[in-house]
Structure 1
Amino acid sequence: MADFTKREILAAPLLGAAGLSSATAAPRPAPKIPPGRFDASVASLETYRVPDWFRDAKFGIWAHWGPQAVPRQGDWYARFMYVPGHPHYDHHVKTYGHPSTFGYKDILPLWTAKRFDPDALMTRFAAAGARYFVAMGVHHDNFDLWRSRHHRWNSVALGPKRDIVGAWKTAATRRGLRFGVSEHLAASYCWWYPNHLYDQFWPKLGVAYDGADPAFADLYHRNRDEPYRNTPTSWYTVDADFHARWFDRIRDLVDSYQPDLLYSDGGLPFGAVGRSLVEHLYNGSIRRSGRLDAVYTCKDNGTGSFHRGAAVQDVERGVLAGINPLPWQTDTSNGDWFYNAAHPYKTATQVVTMLADIVSKNGNLLLNIVMDPDGSLPPQSELLLTELADWMAVNGAAIHGTRPWTVYGEGPTKTTAGMFAEKGDYTPRDVRFTTRGDDLFAIVLGEPSGTLTITTLAAGNRHEPRPIRHVALLGHAGPIDFRQTAQGLTIAVPPTLPTRHASAFRISYA
């Protein structure tokens, strides 16, 4: 199977001269792009303003999906299959063979996505409350999921033989969702260093992995002395030729699909080269519509650079502290980043309460919905989408199109700010506030019963001195009894709640 796969891969067409192996490529000059309102300076990019569509959307769904799902082992398979002692390596040797003879290049044709139906999936995503959708463009595995003009390792030439990004965009447009793409390519050059190595024990001592084969240098990269150490100083390569190739490929992605949102996994990479790409994204949006509708998200995590105001800050599996003055985004997954049956899955209650907490702090939630390698949904993702659709049908008014109040909420459960600090369970005393026009929404993160007292809404409180005149429970047809005193707003909770998860009260003033 490996021999057949090698013949197939070597026969794959090179789409343009830039598809040549990076091992033989000569450095190229800095990119030239059309001028516009923005230039590549930090000062210019910091004049950016987040478009209203993103501020109104609040909830997006992401398909963090690609060939690394094939082994069903979870995230970073392409890297750890080359690391002896790691479970991914053990699985790979047992299932496929040693990575000297069956490497990641041989996984790629196995990803056929035979049950991938983007229209049906997008219908589910829109019903679940998503107002924007983000497709994986390229992960650290250096495999483009579109009709790439600069890279022969792409989903049109290999695997599904299909333009995955293009199919996603067509489906999102039909359902009226804003469309985004994610790029994880910038870290790939160093991240994938182990594919050049070899086992250091018998019986394969010194046998090189397939990444050492120069025939595949354009997939596995040419670095032999620049390993990825998972530190800020080694996250991105200093190789200027790779910087130029990154720019060419991501510009191709942007120009071909004109996304409303571009996500980089890490800080803004490669200095002026990365800033030129963001400049091109913003100016292209203005040229097409006469207004700036594009969003660029990246992380303030010590990798690359982050210029506050020039981009939307993305916080992986975490939150910011309090109400941030600028819109921001959490990205997370309902399970592992790629399909992994052994990984725990989030419940609808966990997702809904996370969403309410983030929105109350001026953020958006971008949620990956785990997909099976074949493009279908595992039962856990099916159930989550069904329950989110039920909840959003009742409570979406407290989420979409809202803005933060003067305080984000109250309650005993404290969240920890920063990446990889997701909070699990909340109590009925944990409340989050959002506003729309003159209405205030109080979203109760636990399941209240009997009476509920919101102390922040005490009579004459400093946040809103006007007396409360009306309280309604979204999804509940009958009146809601309440009393506002100096101790708080006390609400008589109906014996039956309209939704199984968080409950949202609409509060009106005189």
Structure 2
Amino acid sequence: MNRRKLVKNLALAAPAAWLPSVVAGLNWSPLAPTRGVAAGTFQPTWTSLAQYQTPAWYRDAKFGLWAHWGPQCQPERGDWYARGMYQEGSDQYKYHVEKYGHPSKFGFKDVINEWKAEEWNPDELLALYKKAGAKYFVCLANHHDNFDLYTSTHQPWNSTRLGPKKDLVGGWAKAAKKQGLRFGVSVHAAHTWSWLETSQRADKNGPLAGVPYDGKITTAEGQGKWWQGYDPQALYAQNHPLSQNSQDNGMIHRQWDWGNGVTPPSKEYCEKFYNRTIELLDKYEPDLVYFDDTALPLWPVNDAGLRIAAHMYNTSTQRHGGRNEAVITGKILTSEQRKCMVWDIERGQSNEIEPLPWQTCTCLGQWHYDRRIYDHHGYKSAQTVIHTLIDVVSKNGNLLLSVPIRGNGSIDDQERAIVEGIAAWMQVNSESIYGTRPWKIFGEGPAQENAAALSAQGFNEGKGKPFGAEDIRYVVKGKTLYATALGWPANGRLLLKALAVGGSHYAGDVKRVELLGSAGNISFEHTQEGLALVLPSPKPNAIAYAFKITPA
């Protein structure tokens, strides 16, 4: 049956309330043509992508804020809710059963229907984030839950039709432009295929033992329900056999790079992801795309990620008069892949100056909002954030920080106070951050001597020795050296050992030393032991202390 005849037959058979979504849904058919890669210098191969050069705007920006916000924030029960709610006996499963009902009757699709984002004010939030010193802003475009947060002609399950019924990416993009911030999106949906396999399960115990969850339900089962006319498989993508050891909740981490027995994703699934992402890039023209993938999405089982990268680089080059301004981030990159994009380290830092720009991504709490963190005052402090930023920047990196957003679209009062604390420090000390480059060494002090090694894509955050007054981080801007102390010495004196006369790092004389946020110059003595500073009283803040060192 051809598509025109199918539309006609549906119109005759369907009730009026059902018709619009079904007819419109034909635009999301797997028969929809694949969009081509934009013409240009970059081809969808690792060899071609290795031409990439990180744009100056990103290297200078150093600090971005992120709204990792979607329907999984609605329950306010933490990260990966759409997966955890189907894990019998888990905290999120128990919470879900108590709050919403059994996942055979009230699944994640129904959580989406609960989500209205009624207090979302992107203009107000981005004005606050600009005040806090962010130079770029990133919003969630979709997560592993497969729900698009923008106007999508390839995914019927999107925020303009369901849930908030708003173009969230469009709203964020408009607000970012108003504040003069570079705009980015994060894309996570490549992993829905295996990540949501938990929705194919059933309880093993209790009164509903053996009753399947809703992961494999069909369009026909929606007759008379709120989701009538929508195909749940367009969301859950579970019409496939389970991956090996799928009942092991930790197996997903070992299969993240599409190996170790994962059921191979279908061509239809891969092309749908490709088309959705290309449409996102073309419609909203982000400067940055964060991929939550090993290397690129669906690599190495499909070349969709390579095609997306080439398309983004080529279209950016076209828009910017022959200059590629685009940034793509990926995780667990080989040395060759790091030439093609920006390496992202999740919740962790490198322990050395990286030869190429990189990024740390982390969060004040959990990635998806968790009310318990608020109740127990468990957020990172402004000091922890600033210390991380200073350390990362000294090693040639950027910091992307997520501020968890409640389901309703607001941030809570504790988070707001933290962001204001970051703003207060940045408004005085940002010249030691923006536009800087690594010095000969990134720093000195006991914290680095006890630094924790990276694990997988990162996750060494908070595992080392806490920063203190002897921990110094260095950066340069032109001929000016900035030395930032991550604590205030009790005796009011600070020794910068790396600046020792006759040492291998600093050959010249020092003309002047200033403490940002404090009036006047700092008294100093330059000796073979180092640059000894006599600090003023009182100290200008309670977070970190940036000294501006001007050579003679």
1:433 corresponding residue in structure 2: 474
CA contact (8 A) 1:300 1:306 kept: no
1:461 corresponding residue in structure 2: 503
Q: Deviations over 1:375-402 (max 9, x none)?
A: 1111221011110110001100000111
The letter for the 2-side match of 1:330 is: T
- 1:288 and 2:319 aligned: yes
CA contact (8 A) 2:270 2:298 kept: yes
1:138 corresponding residue in structure 2: 142
Please give the secondary structure, in 2, of the residue aligned with 1:137: strand
2:405 corresponding residue in structure 1: 371
- 1:468 Cα offset (Å): 1.1
1:278 corresponding residue in structure 2: 309
- 1:171 and 2:207 aligned: no
The letter for the 2-side match of 1:428 is: A
TM-score, scaled relative to structure 1:
0.94
- 1:298 and 2:320 aligned: no
Q: Within 5 Å, which residues of 2 pair with 1:237-316? A: 237-267=264-294, 268-271=296-299, 272-290=303-321, 291-300=323-332, 307-316=337-346
2:459 corresponding residue in structure 1: 420
Pick aligned residue for 1:484 from 495, 510, 526: 526
CA distance in 1 between counterparts of 2:403 and 2:293 reads 20
The letter for the 2-side match of 1:85 is: G
CA distance in 1 between counterparts of 2:68 and 2:24 reads 25
CA distance in 2 between counterparts of 1:231 and 1:479 reads 53
Aligned residues: 497
CA contact (8 A) 1:193 1:224 kept: no
Q: Runs of 5+ in structure 2 lacking a partner?
A: 1-15, 220-231, 259-263
CA contact (8 A) 1:339 1:371 kept: yes
Aligned-residue CA RMSD in angstroms?
Answer: 1.9
Q: Runs of 5+ in structure 1 lacking a partner?
A: 1-6
Please give the secondary structure, in 1, of the residue aligned with 2:483: strand
- 1:42 Cα offset (Å): 1.2
CA distance in 1 between counterparts of 2:65 and 2:215 reads 34
- 1:495 Cα offset (Å): 1.7
Pick aligned residue for 1:220 from 236, 255, 271: 236
CA distance in 2 between counterparts of 1:141 and 1:209 reads 15
- 1:322 and 2:349 aligned: no
2:517 corresponding residue in structure 1: 475
Please give the secondary structure, in 1, of the residue aligned with 2:487: coil
Q: Deviations over 1:268-324 (max 9, x none)?
A: 12342210100000000011111100000010169xx97120010000001112100
CA contact (8 A) 2:333 2:343 kept: no
CA distance in 1 between counterparts of 2:19 and 2:337 reads 42
The letter for the 1-side match of 2:168 is: I
Please give the secondary structure, in 2, of the residue aligned with 1:266: strand
1:401 corresponding residue in structure 2: 435
- 1:8 Cα offset (Å): 8.7
CA distance in 1 between counterparts of 2:529 and 2:353 reads 24
CA distance in 2 between counterparts of 1:382 and 1:358 reads 23
Q: Structure 1's 231 and 69: CA in aligned 2 closer, same or farther, altered over 3 A?
A: closer
CA distance in 2 between counterparts of 1:345 and 1:8 reads 45
CA contact (8 A) 2:194 2:252 kept: no
Q: Deviations over 1:240-283 (max 9, x none)?
A: 22111110011111111000000100221234221010000000
Q: Structure 1's 9 and 460: CA in aligned 2 closer, same or farther, altered over 3 A?
A: farther
CA contact (8 A) 1:187 1:235 kept: no
CA contact (8 A) 2:390 2:473 kept: yes
- 1:222 Cα offset (Å): 2.9
The letter for the 1-side match of 2:240 is: R
CA distance in 2 between counterparts of 1:488 and 1:413 reads 19
- 1:13 Cα offset (Å): 5.8
Please give the secondary structure, in 2, of the residue aligned with 1:308: helix
Q: Deviations over 1:110-161 (max 9, x none)?
A: 1111111100000000010100000100000110000111111111001111
Please give the secondary structure, in 1, of the residue aligned with 2:542: coil
User: Structure 1 stretch 358-367 or stretch 378-387: which is displaced more?
Assistant: 378-387
CA distance in 2 between counterparts of 1:97 and 1:198 reads 14
Pick aligned residue for 1:334 from 360, 364, 369: 364
CA contact (8 A) 1:14 1:151 kept: no
Please give the secondary structure, in 1, of the residue aligned with 2:437: coil
CA contact (8 A) 2:193 2:237 kept: yes
- 1:63 and 2:67 aligned: yes
The letter for the 2-side match of 1:243 is: C
Pick aligned residue for 1:493 from 532, 535, 538: 535
User: Structure 1 stretch 94-103 or stretch 212-221: which is displaced more?
Assistant: 212-221
The letter for the 1-side match of 2:522 is: I
CA contact (8 A) 1:9 1:158 kept: no
CA distance in 1 between counterparts of 2:339 and 2:505 reads 27
CA contact (8 A) 1:15 1:148 kept: no
- 1:29 Cα offset (Å): 8.0
The letter for the 2-side match of 1:255 is: D
Q: Structure 1's 14 and 115: CA in aligned 2 closer, same or farther, altered over 3 A?
A: farther
Please give the secondary structure, in 1, of the residue aligned with 2:137: strand
CA distance in 2 between counterparts of 1:54 and 1:175 reads 17
Q: Structure 1's 336 and 234: CA in aligned 2 closer, same or farther, altered over 3 A?
A: closer
- 1:230 Cα offset (Å): 1.9
Please give the secondary structure, in 1, of the residue aligned with 2:252: coil
